[in-house]
Each structure stands twice: as structure tokens, then as C-alpha cells.
Amino acid sequence: MYTFEDVVYMRKKKLYSKDMKNYKLNNQIKTSYRTLPGMITNILRESILSGELSGGVQLKQEELATKFNVSMSALREALKSLEAEGLVSFYPNRGAVVSELSADEAKEIFDIRLFLELGALELATPNLTDADLAEAHEILKKADEETQSEHWGELNWQFHETLYRPANRPKLLTLIQNMHNNVERYMRLYLSAMHYQTKSQEEHHALLNACTKGDIKGAQKLLRKHMADASVNLIEYLS
């Protein structure tokens, strides 16, 4: 069993090791150096999404501030950011606690994601460039070759983000990413334990093919089925 100090050390090592082939690396370091709370947010977020900090774990603020060697205000700002993402909840007499997700909550999140992502796809598809499509194809290629299940969730997000980004709706993209983060830690376990990754990749390739053709309705139909299947199977897994 790892202590929280071990987790923090491993997270920092993963973020800053020059030899670590982490697909989040560039994005995380760019954000981390912007502000100290941003760095703490990234480390704690990844610890939650990876399952190293599981649902229900109390995040003791004084202990965390000491571990990170930061002020309480910087730590609280990081925890508030995670609360806004739905990954941390605050309770009287308990403070900050890693959020837990029920089957009902998972269904609601997928319902919200479906509405948001269908709209983003409709707005983005006409604006997809050859460069966007090539980037999405390269991400799928990496995912096809990736054997480490802890990277599948991030590659999944990168693929969908690449398709939605040309919608030029940054606030919409942020909402979608927050919903994605709320289920990613469970999807990581689910993709690995239920061997869903192969089917998910087949659906991703079909979606990319529809987007390449500019077939908005076809792409939306594929996305709807892709997310509905994932929702049903994840809810069964959580139950």
C-alpha cells in the first residue's frame, strides 16, 4: 500500500521525468509551470483518475500542504479547482474528500456528455482540416499500439478533443472535459477489466471515417451508439 507521500513522489516523477513517454506530459507541464496551484491540481487530478486516490479518501489539507511544501491558500485553490471538476467534494467536519460515483450518477454524466458532444461534433465537422484528421488518425494509431491501460483514457480524450476543437467553442470543450474527467477513473478500470478497448477503438475508427467524409449525421449516429454502449457497460460494471 502506497502512502500519500509515495503517490505525490510518483506523480512528480511521472510529470517531470525526461524519459517518461507520457502522452499528457507536454500539456501538464505547460499548465503546471503557469501557477503553483495548477501544478498541485494536475498531480492530484492524475492521482484520482489513476485510482491511486480512490473515492471516499479524505484529503487532509494541512498534511497535503506539508507534503507539497506550499501554503494553505495554494492548496485550497487547487482543491477548489478539483471540486469544480467534480473530482473532490467538501463536507462539514470532514473537509475535502475524493468524490465517489454511483451508477445513477454515471448515467447522468453520460447523458450530459451525449448532448454536449453531439452538438460539438455538429459544429466542428465542417471545420475539420486535413491536419486535424491526420492528428486524430495518429492518436488512434498510438492507442492501437498502447499496451498500458492507464494511458487509454487520456488517448481517448485526446481523440475526441481533436474532433471537437474545430467547433471553436472553448467553454463547451471545457464542460465536456470536466464530464470526461468525472468518469475517466472508472473507465480506466472498465476498459482494462472488461476488455472493451478493442471495441472502443473500432468505433473510434468508424467515427473518424465519417468525419473525414464530412458526414455529420452519420458521425452523430456512430457517436451516439459509441457513448450509449460505453454508458450501459460502465453502469453494469459499477453496479
86 and 184 share a domain? no
73, 98, 123 - which closes a domain: 98
Residues 70 and 107 in one domain: no
DSSP for 79-105, written as a single string:
HHHHHHTTSEEEETTTEEEE----HHH
CA pair distance 66, 230, nearest whole angstrom: 40
C-alpha torsion sign, points 224, 229, 234, 235: positive
- For 57-89, how does the pLDDT look when each residue is reduced to its tens digit (9 = 90+)? 999 999 999 988 999 999 999 999 999 888 899
Nearest residue to 79 (alpha-carbon basis) of 100, 101, 64: 64
pLDDT(33) > 50: no
Residues 114 and 230 in one domain: yes
Residue 119 is placed in which grid cell? 452538438
Q: Domain count of the chain?
A: 2
The pTM is what? 0.70
Angle at 27 between CA 159 and CA 175, to 5 degrees: 60
Q: Which residue has the cell 488512434?
A: 140
The pLDDT of residue 225 is above 70? yes
User: Which residue matches cell numbers 467524409?
Assistant: 213
Domain CATH number, residue 9: 1.10.10.10
Q: Can you tell me the mean pLDDT for 154-174? A: 95
Asked if 135 and 198 sit in the same domain, the reply is yes
Are 37 and 135 members of one domain? no
pLDDT at 189: 66
Place of cell 492548496: 75
Handedness of CA 34, 98, 180, 113 (dihedral sign): negative
Find residue 3's DSSP bridge partners: none
Tell me which H or E stretch contains 21: none
Containing domain of residue 199, as a range? 103-238
The answer to whether residues 112 and 85 belong to one domain is: no
Last residue of a domain, one of 42, 68, 98: 98
Same domain, 49 and 82: yes
In a shared domain, residues 152 and 213: yes
Q: What is the CATH number of the domain that holds 129?
A: 1.20.120.530
Distance CA 192, CA 45 (A): 20
Which one, of 125, 129, 187, lies nearest residue 155 by Cα? Answer: 187
In contact, 197 and 152? CB cutoff 8 Å: yes
Q: Are 110 and 129 in the same domain?
A: yes
Domain boundary among 71, 98, 125: 98
Q: Based on the domain organization, do 42 and 119 belong to the same domain?
A: no
Give residues with Cβ within 8 angstroms of 72, minimum separation 6. Answer: 61, 62, 65
pLDDT of residue 224: 95
Per-residue cell: 209: 471515417
Are residue 22 and residue 108 in the same domain, yes or no? no
Q: Do 231 and 134 share a structural domain?
A: yes
Q: What is the pLDDT of residues 111-146, one digit of tens each?
A: 999 999 999 999 999 999 999 999 999 999 999 998
Concatenating the DSSP letter of every residue in 128-160 gives --HHHHHHHHHHHHHHHH---GGGHHHHHHHHH
Kindly give, in sequence order, each residue whose CB lies less than 8 Å from that of residue 140, ignoring residues fewer than 6 positions away: 159, 201, 204, 205, 208
